[in-house]
Amino acid sequence: MNIVTLITQLTEVILAVVAAPLLMGWVNQCRAWLQNRRGPGVLQPYRQIRKLFHKDAVIAAQASPLFRLVPYVQFASMCLAAAIIPSLWTGLPFAVAADTIALVGLFATARVFLALAAMDIGTAFGSMGARREMLVGFLAEPALLMVFFTASLISHSTSLPTIVETLAQGRLAIYPSLAFAGVAFLMVLLAENARIPVDNPATHLELTMIHEATVLEYSARHLALIEWSVALKLFNYTCIGLALFFPWGLATGAHSLRDLLLAIPITGLKLLVAGFGLALIESLNAKMRIFRAPEFLASAFLLAVLGLLVHLLLGS
Amino acid sequence: MADSTSLLYATLLVPVAWLAIGLLGLVRGRSVLWVGRILFPLGTLAGLTLGFTALAGLGAPTESLTLPLGLAQFAFHIRLDALAWFFLLLIGFTSAGIGVFSAGYFRAGEGTAPGLLCLQYHVFLASMAVVVMADDAYLFLVAWETMALSSYFLVTTQHRLPEIRRAGFIYLLIAHLGAIGILLCFGVMQGGNWQFTFEAMRAAQLTPVWASAAFFLALFGFGAKAGLVPLHVWLPEAHPAAPSPVSALMSGVMLEIAIYGVLRVTFDLLHVQLWWWGLVTLGLGLFTALFGVVFAAVQTDMKRLLAYSSIENIGIIFLGVGLTVIFHAFHMPLLAALALAATLYHCLNHAFSKSLLFLSTGSVLHATRERSLGKLGGLIHRMPWVAWLALVGTLAIAGLPPLNGFVSEWLLLQAFLFTPDLPHSYVNMLLPMGAAALALVAALAAYVMVKFYGVIFLGQPRESSLREAQDCGRLERIGLLWLAAGCVLLGIFPVPLLALLNNVSRGLLGASLGTQLQHWWLLAPIAPERAAYSPAVFLLSTVVLVAAVVLGVRRFYHGRVRKAAPWGCGFPLLTPRMQDTAEGFGQPIRQIFEPFFRMQRALPSPFDTSPHYRVQVEDHFWYALYAPIAGLVRRISSLAGAVQQGRISVYLLYSFLTLVALLAFAL
């Protein structure tokens, strides 16, 4: 590990952390446009986070230390995930510490901590949110793992940068298995990031909340960290999707400075398109009843398994 | 390092010491001080000795010894190879934590007197150690039965309660069904030369049919002890009945001893392994794992929940055994070693984390006198030690990085990724589906553990009496701390231990992961570019990041905090009873996996003025399998009862007829 790779690694993480709210703002702005609203502007999440950081934290009287620790764990795990995901370039020295299975485990850890924090206060909505969050999680997590497995079988490696390098350098043939995996991944992305049709990030009705119900008790800096990590999670998932299914333009192999610099606008452009696509999906769909969510996720899981099977049958 | 012969003698002394400690318990059987403060700590020391001896022994050559004990024809044989050392290590280190905890846990006036309990407990420990050391079927079965009997008495510590006697009876019944299977298995494996040493069994050449018979008898016999579905019914009965340290010992150690038996028979005593055995084992393991985790999710008794979680983990371990058999049968030594390493690692993980959780339920039980999840809650405030240490166990069982449970699951999933390379056209396509099921089980385990932890320790106390709960005592803390430290260390430093496990796989499979484990910090069992995971770096960067974020937020922003009532959504009357109950938390699982359960619901009508809601979730196997068998047994015994007339002339007639029949047979 030399100093250059270390710098690229750090730059990558810092760019992800800084740019994540921007993606969130872009998606919200696109949604507003698609719904004939003017929208608050793409910088709104930054203003939101800044405002929250300046407020006094209000904490429930019966909160335990675990409750106050969780926002930091959330934020740290999403930063860690950003260090593994090749959003700009694949030469990530940190990626050796955690492969795709560990990445799924990392997301699971973050989710478990969030659910525990939600149960900590002991209100009806908190524990209901925890239950629903875990319900979404236990179906989405294996689906995500199966998507990664399909990609791993193609590239004979579970390390995410290696997978992406194989997929990027491979001939432009389309892997039929990845088509299934791609659809499954999209469904997982929607569910895991609490987007429509599984959850509504803009909801103000506690009964229909999933993710929002788990963070109902947070305020000020804790909420700011949670919001930021939610944005970072969306950014991470989008980057995983782009890297697996549209890996063109990433700096792979031996990096030249030109490649590295070129990767930034390309990734930015891809994220803009992906963000618009996400807003489109959210505008075209309605949120489904919570009882339908398991069916939605079970089909994601089955699609991912089908992708695996297709790979094994066709060998590609 | 001491030479291997002295290691052998040191190891032999430990069961002897345990027996002596147990007998000393009878000397002043009513004195809690004598038993708790002197004998149990001594037993713990013996356990630690065993653990460290085994650690040294894992690298030593195999040693064997014939003891001048036993019957004339059947002298006791002892043999310690790497497999035996590994399980002795598991017994030693796990029992050390449980022993220290027990020293502070057992109190007077709870069923069996402390002295007798001390005897049963240490006999149980000694018998488990002897099972692992035994090198002939005779000693093995004597120790195995001692283990079953001593644990039966431990389960029925509160023998005045009828439901506990019933639980003990079910346990004893299944244990003996299993023992018959093991006895028959040894009978098949001696191969007609009537030599019951393991040495002779290794040399016996069985035909594939007889070898298969032996394997499946072993799977039945040891599976009954381990809790393989459908022989799992005793676990959810016996674990809640037993005192918590006993549950910990049974779930954390005894179940793993059954796994030892399977491994010993399959890879050591049988000279041939057929691939379809592996497929069957893998299928049974997967079903057991899914069954266990789904049932765990709907339990409302904390120890029953953990018992079902044990069934799940045993399923995962059998999955690993099956995978090892398949790879071994197809002559893929490196992958077989990988699967075996995952299996053994999971045994050790389960021993540490499940004991930790069972012990913490023990502390909760002592503090609150409550086992039902519906009446607990909020204990993190009153019992911070137990709560925080239990959090470690919870995360470990849920298989989350960077703790130990994740390491074995990671290894197992890696092994699954290689199954498409198998030279068999259907198996190589079928098996990756197993990985999907395993992923589902692992994700469900997280659900179960959030329920377990959240309902017991988080939220608000559901009963006012919980506000007076006391944290556990000093000795209990040491026990919990020891096991939690084990979970963390096993999670962060898997490579040194895997390097030691190589000795086991070299002995059993003739292959190891040896060359792949160069860096202590990097787990890359096949090749670093193929798959790598570094828990130490992972943990370190998480800690550094969390610290950096905390400091950063402190540095740039004020840290003002106000305490207030929680957000009630505009509803003024929030009570602790409005929190999600254990039933509520399990409801989605109950709905999604409905075919797994036999459910009886009683729903009130909307006009009911005093509504009662009742749901009873039961196991299909009780009614579909056990009830018909029990009925059949009852019918046969009533038929046999018709023969018993109670008049002496009739019995004389029976003797006469028997004599005539025998004479006719002899002539």
pLDDT tens, chain A, 316 aa long: 578 778 888 888 999 999 999 999 999 999 999 989 998 989 999 999 999 988 888 898 888 999 989 999 999 999 999 998 988 888 788 888 888 999 999 999 999 999 999 999 888 888 888 999 999 988 899 999 999 998 888 888 888 888 888 888 765 567 888 889 999 999 999 999 988 888 888 777 777 788 888 888 898 889 999 999 999 999 999 999 998 888 877 777 666 777 778 888 888 999 999 999 999 999 998 888 888 888 999 999 999 999 888 888 887 5
The candidate with the shortest Cα–Cα distance to B103, out of B54, B193, B43, is B43
Residue A175: its pLDDT value, please?
Answer: 80
Q: Check: CB of residue B75 under 8 Å from CB of residue B497.
A: no
Band (B1; pLDDT cuts 50, 70, 90): very low
The Cα–Cα gap between A230 and A49 comes to: 12
Q: Check: CB of residue B463 under 8 Å from CB of residue B375.
A: yes
Q: What stretch of H or E contains B289?
A: helix B275-297
Residue with tokens 């056990």: B626
* A272, A277, A278, A283 alpha-carbon torsion, rounded to 10°: 130
Residue B43: its pLDDT value, please?
Answer: 92
* A93, A96, A100, A106 alpha-carbon torsion, rounded to 10°: -90
Residue B108: its pLDDT value, please?
Answer: 63
Q: DSSP labels for A160-192? A: HHHHHHHHHHS-SPPPHHHHHHHHHHHHHHHHH
Residue A173: its pLDDT value, please?
Answer: 62
Residue with tokens 């198998």: B422
Give φ, ψ of B311 to 5 degrees: -60, -40
Find the DSSP H helices in B193-274.
198-203, 208-226, 235-241, 244-249, 255-263
The Cα–Cα gap between A306 and B13 comes to: 56
Contact B538 A128 (CB under 8 A): no
Band (B265; pLDDT cuts 50, 70, 90): very high
The Cα–Cα gap between B363 and B369 comes to: 10
What is the pLDDT averaged over residues B483-508?
89
**Shortest Cα distance from A206 to chain B (angstroms)?**
8
- How confident is the prediction for chain B on average, in pLDDT? 88
Q: Which residues in A lie closer than 8 A to residue B450 (C-beta atoms)? A: 112, 115-116, 119, 130, 134
Quote the percentage of chain B above a pLDDT of 70.
99
Q: Which residues in B lie closer than 8 A to residue A165 (C-beta atoms)? A: none
Residue of B nearest to A165 (CA): B529
Residue B515: its pLDDT value, please?
Answer: 63
Between the alpha carbon of residue A91 and those of residues A15, A159, A264, B308, the distances in Å are 15, 12, 14, 44
What is the domain partition of chain B in residue ranges?
A: 1-205, 273-549, 624-666
Residue A99 contacts B where some CB pair is shorter than 8 Å:
yes
Quote the percentage of chain B above a pLDDT of 90.
44
Contact A305 B569 (CB under 8 A): no
**Shortest Cα distance from A276 to chain B (angstroms)?**
31
DSSP B265: I
Q: Which residues in A lie closer than 8 A to residue B542 (C-beta atoms)? A: 73, 76-77, 80
Residue with tokens 């009963």: B463
Range A225-239 burial, b when 16+ CB lie within 10 A, else e: bbbbbbbbbbbbbbb
ipTM of the complex: 0.93
Residue B514: its pLDDT value, please?
Answer: 67
Q: Which residues in B lie closer than 8 A to residue A142 (C-beta atoms)? A: 436, 439-440, 442-443
**Shortest Cα distance from B616 to chain A (angstroms)?**
21
The tens digit of pLDDT for each residue in B61-75 reads 888 888 887 776 778
Kindly state the tokens that stand for B96: 């050390």
Q: What angle do CA A297, A301, A307 make, to 5 degrees?
A: 140
Tell me the three-class secondary structure of B413-427, residue by residue: HHHHHCHHHCCCCCH
Find the DSSP H helices in B418-492.
427-457, 474-492
Band (B109; pLDDT cuts 50, 70, 90): low
The candidate with the shortest Cα–Cα distance to B508, out of B264, B196, B279, B282, is B264
Q: Check: CB of residue B96 under 8 Å from CB of residue B47.
A: yes
**Shortest Cα distance from B453 to chain A (angstroms)?**
8
The tens digit of pLDDT for each residue in B158-201 reads 888 888 999 999 999 999 999 999 999 999 988 777 888 888 88
Q: What is the largest CA-CA distance in chain B?
A: 104
CB proximity under 8 Å: A 181-200 to B: none
What is the pLDDT averaged over residues B141-158?
92
Task: Tell whether the torsion through CA atoms of B402, B407, B412 and B414 is positive or negative.
Answer: positive
Q: Check: CB of residue A233 under 8 Å from CB of residue A265.
A: no
**Shortest Cα distance from B381 to chain A (angstroms)?**
7
The tens digit of pLDDT for each residue in B444-457 reads 999 999 999 999 99
Q: Check: CB of residue A140 under 8 Å from CB of residue A191.
A: yes
Residue B520: its pLDDT value, please?
Answer: 75
The Cα–Cα gap between A225 and B156 comes to: 52
Phi-psi region of B106 (alpha: psi -120 to 50; beta: other; left: phi over 0): beta
What is the pLDDT averaged over residues B608-629?
85
Kindly state the tokens that stand for A16: 């992800």
DSSP B192: T
Residue B483 vs residue B515, higher pLDDT: B483
The terminus-to-terminus CA distance of chain B in angstroms comes to: 68
